Amino acid sequence: MNTTKLTRKTKKNTEVLNDYKLACESREASLLGRKEVFMGKAKFGIFGDGKELAQIAMAKVFQNGDFRSGYYRDQTFMFAIGQLSIQEYFAQLYAHTDVAADPSSAGRLMNGHFATRLLDENGDWKDLTKEKHSSSDVSPTASQMPRLVGLAYASKLYREVPALKKVKGFSVNGNEVAFGTIGNASTSEGMFYESINAAGVLQVPMLVSVWDDEYGISVPKEYHTTKGNISAVLDGFKRDKKHAGYEIFTVNGWDYEALIDTYEKAAAISREEHVPTLVHVQQLTQPQGHSTSGSHERYKSKERLEWEAEYDCNLQFRKWILNEGLADAEELDGIEGEAKKSAKEAKEAAWKAFNGSLKIDFDAALASLDEVSEKINTNIDELKSIREELSKTVNPIKLDSYRAVKKALRVLRTESKSVKTPLINWLKNADETYFDQYNSKLYSTSKNSALNVEVIDAIFDDGASQVDGREVLQACFDEALKRDPKVFAFGEDVGKIGDVNQAFAGLQEKHGVNRVTDTGIRECTIIGQGIGAALRGLRPIAEIQYLDYLLYAIQILSDDLACLQYRTKGGQKAPLIIRTRGHRLEGVWHSGSPMGMILHSLRGIYVLTPRNMTQAAGFYNTMLKSDDPALIIECLNGYRLKEQIPSNVGEFTVPLGKVEVLKEGTDVTIVTYGSMCRIVMDAADQLEKYGISCEVIDAQSLIPFDLNHAIVESVKKTNRLVVADEDVPGGASAFILQKVLEEQGAYKYLDSKPTTITAKEHRPAYSSDGDYFSKPNIEEVFDKVYDLIAEADPENYPDIY
């Protein structure tokens, strides 16, 4: 054998044995993790045992710049690409709140949920071409799939849009592959099929791995999948000489050589040909069952358990190494021993660091209790009892100290503040620290936060003609597309016809099909396409044709986009703009205003409700200068109403969280937004004729809401409050009342009970009459406000009816 061949063989042998060690270490981490949960040192555990070999093979073809959108059993893969250490893995299991300890989530996500930090400590993008990446995992099954489409779609844009060649730090000519992983049972979800179809249509470099262990918790494959085989189901998606589609591979999860060969082929096709591939990894096992919540012995047959023991991928890997003569049993025993030792040491280091982080506050709480005990003459025994109970707590966590201090302060409520100062100071420091650890980073706090965008007023030239409102948006979008090559818009009917209301009319022809793009009818993956692209530095505007259709995507918006910055503690961002339209019109399915659902589900996404298209354009300009996601809801009946186009249509901004007084008044404050502004203004003009002066305030944005507390200042003047809203009773109106009455303290200035004017409890009926009798109308606003004033002054305002 010549020297070159000998060197190659030595390298191969070393690689194989290193892979075996990693597989053993990862397995040991799973075994130890389960024990930690049962010992009470962690709350819950879900592990990647049984999937080690396939993930090692996949990691070999994962390159710098590539992205993973995956499944909570991918620990071995994360170890293999060097983006997770075993100590960090256990830090997440213990919920260590230090980003340095748990870079994925700073203790905010349960174990097995992985993310790499795409942003620096200032919230600015790192150079994404220099490292391997994982988008932040989500638990709801198949929810990783829509985002995966967008991660792959970004590569297509970086390759095909000429102007993006000049954009640095995000892509190398679109060569990056998006790797997705999913369990076989989760392929039953509609999101999986929608994502598979979307990627097939788009022809993007996406490699999906299905980890198939034949169960979904206790439910076997025959209940999940037609034919019991997902690759057989997807056979129609295969490409051929006439039709674009997928390359689909099947491989057994215990076959080391076949796995490596399969992933090399699949990744090469996706990377070089820019087409989607799917690897169905079959005959996998799950030695510890689904999670620490139960045992798989309850639902798996004796025969199945025996098969799983024999075809465990690590055991089969060991047998293959021995059969190939790459090592003997003694050497492999030694590797297994080293793996157990290193995994245990990593676990112990993580536990020590976690406890060390708790000990500072714990010791300080005990010291504060001791200090106060020395200053008091009463309640000493009760205080000592609290102190003793705290000191004897086994494996104390933060809430133990916090509860003890609060309990002590209740006991000391009659003591002077000076006596209680040590405990009060401890509590104040704890509140600040714990807010940062558990409640921060819901929205961007970087210099590019939407709240930091400079306010630039709209400029209107003298004598400028009035145009349809949709032309204001068209001019705004045209300027945005010219200004920044990273901006692109897509959605149903957005491309060729320029959206159903013509705000993008002519812009596809002007800027190209990749910048203004049609999609299929698939709201869930339209949003996912936007999330993934935004994660890779692009500035997508994703259109959901009608506000009612947001229901198709509410889960992805809520579980993925809304909490992305929060669940990574500022480690990732996706500044996606979701464009939609709603409010006034006719019919059950095209004119809804489910604002309460949106407000309660989408904290973490700004919710902007412009009353006209000029205000909407200002919001688009604001958000395109920021790094926050936003939902912008245009008025469905406003596209043909006349407005002036500002001369600085591509530059002016509308600030978030700032209300606008549309009409000053003295008798009643009416707060509204969106299409209701015109109705309320018309009613206010009619009320003026009867001596009732209304102050009409447009909230403009619901999240954030009136940051300057201007509404309470109005209520101080009028002493009456009306909230007018097109949502169902208790929808957005309840949200607004909580903000104004509780947060702003306006209840102190009311002389009458607050009043809400809302839609009926059902969706609007068809026709103009259906709209009139389903949603608030001018006469209803008039009557409600009149009755409010009449209650205080019945002599001057007698009953009308």
**How far apart, in whole angstroms, are the C-alpha atoms of residue 639 and residue 620?**
16
> Which three-class secondary structure state does DSSP give residue 558?
helix
**How far apart, in whole angstroms, are the C-alpha atoms of residue 425 and residue 417?**
11
**How far apart, in whole angstroms, are the C-alpha atoms of residue 199 and residue 155?**
12
Catalytic member of 590, 600, 709, 762: 590
Answer whether 488's CB lies under 8 Å from 517's CB.
yes
Answer whether 51's CB lies under 8 Å from 59's CB.
no
Per the annotation, the verdict on 590 as an active-site residue is yes
Answer whether 75's CB lies under 8 Å from 110's CB.
no
The pairing of beta strand 701-703 with beta strand 721-724: unpaired
Answer whether 735's CB lies under 8 Å from 714's CB.
no
For the chain, report the end-to-end CA distance as a whole number of angstroms. 106
3-state SS string for 6-69: HHHHHHHHHHHHHHHHHHHHHHHHHHHHHHHHHCCCCCCCCCCCCCHHHHHHHHCCCCCCCEEE
Comparing CA positions, the residue from 572, 551, 549 lying closest to residue 561 is 572
Sorted by sequence, the CB contacts under 8 Å of residue 770 that are 6+ apart come out as: 586, 587, 764
How many CB atoms sit inside 10 A of residue 739's CB? 21
Q: How is residue 186 annotated by DSSP? A: G
Length of the chain: 801
Answer whether 677's CB lies under 8 Å from 725's CB.
no
Answer whether 540's CB lies under 8 Å from 534's CB.
yes
Answer whether 751's CB lies under 8 Å from 719's CB.
yes
Comparing CA positions, the residue from 263, 272, 196, 201 lying closest to residue 230 is 196
**How far apart, in whole angstroms, are the C-alpha atoms of residue 623 and residue 621?**
6
Strand partners, 207: 179, 277
**How far apart, in whole angstroms, are the C-alpha atoms of residue 281 and residue 467?**
58
**How far apart, in whole angstroms, are the C-alpha atoms of residue 742 and residue 383?**
35
Angle between helices 523-535 and 190-202 (to 10 degrees): 70
Catalytic residues: 590
